[in-house]
Every structure is written in C-alpha cells, then in structure tokens.
Amino acid sequence: MKKIIVLVTTLLLLTTSKFLYAQKPKPPIMGWSSWNHFRVNIDEKMIREQADALVTSGMYDAGYRFINIDDGYFGGRDANGNLLINKSKFPSGMKALADYIHGKGLKAGIYTDAGMNTCGSIWDKDSLGVGAGIYGHWSNDCKLFFKDWGFDFLKVDWCGGEKQHLDEATEYLKIIDTVRTINADIVFNVCRWRFPGEWAIKKADSWRISGDISENFKSILGIIDLNAELYRYSSAGHYNDMDMLQVGQGMSYDEDKSHFSMWCMLNSPLLAGNDLRNMTKETLEVLTNKEVIALNQDKGFAQAQRIIKDGDVEVWVKQLGKGNQKALAILNRAGDAKTYELDLAKLGITTRYKVRDLWLHKELGKVDSNKSFTIAKHGIVVLKLY
C-alpha cells in the first residue's frame, strides 16, 4: 500500500510540474496589437474589424494569429477591488470579444501593468486606468483574464510599477507564477523597456529590450543596436522583444523592409501595429513575405549576430535549423544607396552555397566567393544560403 501511495504521489508531482513549467519550444508569436496606432482609443467594434482584416488580408495565411488588446479597455475597479471594463467602449464584454477572436481561428491577448496604475492613465490621461493595474490583485485578475474571459496572451507593462518604485523581478515573477499555475501555455510578455536581467530569460516568453518604438528609421536602428549583443539570452521559446512593428506607419518602403527583415532575423515577436483595415499593397507585401517570415519562425530558434560592420553597411548572420543553412542580411544604415561587395570568407563561409534573394524571390545561383550588391538608402538585402 505504501508503495502505491508513493507511486501515485510521484506521478501527481510529475504531472503538476509538467503542467506548471514544461512548454514545447515555440517560435516568436505573430499577430497584431492595438497600441502603436490607436493607443487608448480602442473599442470592441474596431478590435473585431482588425480580427476580420487579419484573416481576409492574407496575414492569417502568412502565419499571424494573435489579436492583442492593449491599454485602454479599463473601467477602474469596484468597491471590492474587482476589475471593471469600460462598458461604453466594450458593451458586449471581454469574454464575448475573446470568443469572437477565437471564432476566427485566432488567439486573443490582453494587457495590464505590474503596478497600480496603467501607462495610459499616466501618459494618455485615461483616468479609468488609475488603480486598474494588477498590483495587489494578482490572483483575481489572472482568473478573470484566463479562466473567465479566455485570453491567451498577457503583456505586463511597468509604468505603474516604476512610479511605485517596485522591484521588477519580484513583481514580474509573482505574476508569471500566477499565470503559469492557471495555464502554462499562456504567452507572457515582460514590457520593462530594457533588457530586464537573467531572471526573465527562462520564465517569460519574451521581454522588451527598449523604450517604445517610433515610426522613424533612427528608432529602428537604435533598437537593433540594443539587441546586437543580447543573442546570448535568446533561446527556444524565450525571445528579445524589439517592440511592435511600425510597418505601414509612415516610413519608406525600403525602411519598412529593413525594419521587418531585422525583426525576423533577430527573432523578435512580429506584432503588426498599423490599422489592418487600411493597408497599401506595399505594406501588405512586407508583412506577408513568407520567405522572410520563415527566418523568424525557423525551428533552429537562433537569433542573428552582427558579424561585419563596414562603415554604414552591416552583415548579420542567422544559423538556420536545417543542416548548415544560413540567412544573411546586408543592412545599409546610410542615407544614400551603397554598393557592397560581400566577401563570404570574412564570414567564415567556405562552402559553396546556393543563394536565394528573399525580397526578390529569386535564385542567384551558387556562390562561394565575392558577390556585389547595390542596397538602397536605409535598405536591406536578405539572402538564404542552402
């Protein structure tokens, strides 16, 4: 009898441990988030229309799955501390909205702050975000988000936590453990606006490494530089988050291509931040380039590294998961076009590879020596070597 009890106890512990901590390695998530374009000016009608557009535009076919509702849905708290939503914006409620998103074959994301007050309450004067952060309400809010409403993703900001001078590791780990107890498959994002530290790299699915992205190329380059040496902290299922995409938000076509390519090369989550209901042909072309997306979703899960910095031109190399295949990105940071001669020997590449241009969707033949490329102002060439 004693042996049976020990066996049952062991099995329960193993099962619980697997439920709490074991996750199959996942590539970075792909989807859409409301913040970049709409900030706190969101409502359920607009969110539903974004979900519709994600499916009908072809983005679903390219791999996008998440519709993430960021700050702006809050309605404060009642006298008992229960979280309320803004009924004028979301009259049908959050469960109905999550159900609608799920009905499209998509996953639904939600937002909170680690402190008492949300970022929108501080920076966008959204008074209903005051006291709406998760601080002091960890269990109840997580139950609401994931059991009652049925969301699949949580972004946890830090504006309120910073104002309260909270310890970030303490607060985030408390929230992560609460979330994982409910559902180990919830995708968790630490939005701390800088690399948070090694405490996060196996606990969170992703973590922000920078301040908020802006719709200009200087911002894009700054974030790339911040991530250049963080590849050592990225691993299967755990990624450096370079922030939501600004593709289609006012930069040039070449800048959008460079931005998107580097987010793919560096394994950042791919969360479109534009209005999906009104996209140009060029914006959609960038966001749905399946050959470039495949680098981000590659099962080798390796973040690219900057190997060559030659003036304004950089060469980044990403090891792919199949055989000895690689992806190369040649990035032109300059404000004018550059002609660059790629020397594979400088990259330590001596094998003769077939080369494919992933933006031209064109085979370039076999290359084992130097090859010249003309790269547009703020442009990029992305190659697959196989």
DSSP string, 77-139: E-TT--EEE-TTT-TT-HHHHHHHHHHTT-EEEEEEESSSS-HHHHHS--GGGTT-SSTT-HH
The pLDDT assigned to 21 comes to: 45
CA 247 – CA 295 distance, rounded (Å): 18
Measured in residues, the chain has a length of 386
CA 253 – CA 258 distance, rounded (Å): 9
The pLDDT assigned to 23 comes to: 63
Active site residues: 157, 212
Which helix (DSSP H) or strand (DSSP E) does residue 342 occupy?
A: strand 338-342
Between vectors from CA 257 to CA 255 and to CA 260, what angle results, nearest 5°? 105
Q: Which residues contact 61 (CB under 8 A, 6 or more apart)?
A: 288
210 class by beta-carbon count within 10 Å (0-12 exposed, 13-18 middle, 19+ buried): buried
Strands 353-357 and 380-385: antiparallel
Give, as one character, the DSSP assignment of residue 147. Answer: I
- Residue matched to tokens 């949580």: 154
The neighbouring-strand residues paired with 4 are none
Along the 386 residues of the chain, how does pLDDT read in single tens digits? 444 443 433 344 334 433 444 568 899 999 999 999 999 999 999 999 999 999 999 999 999 999 999 999 999 999 999 999 999 999 999 999 999 999 999 999 999 999 999 999 999 999 999 999 999 999 999 999 999 999 999 999 999 999 999 999 999 999 999 999 999 999 999 999 999 999 999 999 999 999 999 999 999 999 999 999 999 999 999 999 999 999 999 999 999 999 999 999 999 999 999 999 999 999 999 999 999 999 999 999 999 999 999 999 999 999 999 999 999 999 999 999 999 999 999 999 988 999 999 999 999 999 877 899 999 999 999 999 99
Q: Is 136 left (phi over 0), alpha (psi -120 to 50) or beta?
A: left
Cβ neighbours around 249 below 10 Å, total: 20
- Residue matched to tokens 């009905």: 103
Q: Taking the model in full, what pTM does it have?
A: 0.94
Distances (CA, A) of 155 to 148, 234, 286, 305: 18, 18, 25, 27
CA 84 – CA 132 distance, rounded (Å): 8
The pLDDT assigned to 2 comes to: 43
